[in-house]
Each structure stands twice: as C-alpha cells, then as structure tokens.
Amino acid sequence: MRSKGGWYAGFETVSNFQMFFRDWRPAKKSSFLPVIALHGSLIQSGMWNATAEGAGSIRMICPDQRGFGRTDDPG
C-alpha cells in the first residue's frame, strides 16, 4: 500500500514563547496553497489528524494555539 504522506511536528519560537505545530505533508506534491487549521477552545491540533490524512494532496499546518496542547501559555 502506498503512503498518503507523513506528519512532521516541531516548535517555533514566537514572541518569546514556544509554539507547537503539526504539519501534514502529502506524498503527492500539489500546486494548492497549504491550509492552516485552527482548533477550538479546550482542544489541540491533533483534532485535525483524520481530516488532514483524508484531504488527499493538500498540505495542512495545524498549530496548538497559545496555552493549549504543547504550546506555551505566555500568561
């Protein structure tokens, strides 16, 4: 079975705090712009896993918003 793509995850420093993100990169390259998927309150970026994996050849970047998931809460 051919892979649909893969998840990459990491942190970026934004205004002195660490912001976590998940980045779905499809196996097949696309000319579409990436989609930024934001979660609602009391949830984290993992809520987009199934949506991203089922989206075909669209790249999705899913950050944990400030104070949620693995992103710092700057107060």
Residue 49 falls within a domain, yes or no? yes
| pLDDT level of residue 56 (50, 70, 90 thresholds) | confident
Q: What's the domain count of the chain?
A: 1
Q: Check whether 70 has a pLDDT greater than 70.
A: yes
pTM of the model: 0.84
Neighbours of 58 (CB within 10 A): 16
Domain extent at residue 55: 5-63
Residue 74 falls within a domain, yes or no? no
Residue 34 falls within a domain, yes or no? yes
Residue 71 falls within a domain, yes or no? no
In whole angstroms, give the CA distance from residue 36 to residue 58.
Answer: 11
Report the pLDDT value the prediction gives residue 2, as an integer from 0 to 100.
56
Q: Check whether 3 has a pLDDT greater than 70.
A: no
Residue 50 falls within a domain, yes or no? yes
Report the pLDDT value the prediction gives residue 22, as an integer from 0 to 100.
95
pLDDT > 90 fraction of the chain, expressed in percent and rounded: 64
